[in-house]
Amino acid sequence: EIVLTQSPGTLSLYPGERATLSCRANQTINSDYLAWFQQKPGQAPRLLIYDASSRAAGVPDRFSGSGSGTDFTLTINRLAPEDFAVYYCQQYGISFTFGPGTTVDIQ
């Protein structure tokens, strides 16, 4: 089973700052089948990034994904008030597993 680890657990930032979230896998993820989701309280997760670096439809370009193999990063440039949420990475290369999440909250 591919296990995903996310760091940090919580990231406290001010609006306008840059957020850098990490997702690490215990084995190589085939073809970089890695996605990022955003979840706000009381809402369903929303797909932000797929295939490690492709933005989903309608996602602002301040969100970007990078990485390959076992190490992946979600970067949010110039945090907007609506970006404070929980972010999950997910691999879909072998079965499907999610990371434990990173909470981005307002400093």
How many chain residues interact with other proteins (CB under 8 A)? 25
Contacts with 58 (C-beta within 8 Å, 6 or more apart), sequence order: none
**Looking at 25, 38, 72, 101, which residue binds other proteins (CB under 8 A)?**
101
Beta strands across the sheet bearing 63-68: 4-7, 19-25, 71-76, 63-68
* Residue 13 binds to other proteins (criterion: CB under 8 A): no
To the nearest whole angstrom, how small is the minimum distance from the Cβ of residue 56 to other proteins? 7
To the nearest whole angstrom, how small is the minimum distance from the Cβ of residue 45 to other proteins? 6
Q: What is the CA radius of gyration of the chain?
A: 13
Contacts with 75 (C-beta within 8 Å, 6 or more apart), sequence order: 18, 19, 20, 21, 63, 64, 65, 66
Nearer to other proteins, 4 or 18 (CB): 4
Looking only at residues 14 through 73 of this chain, which bind other proteins when binding is defined by CB under 8 A? 30-31, 33, 35, 37, 43-47, 50-51, 54, 56
Nearer to other proteins, 18 or 28 (CB): 28
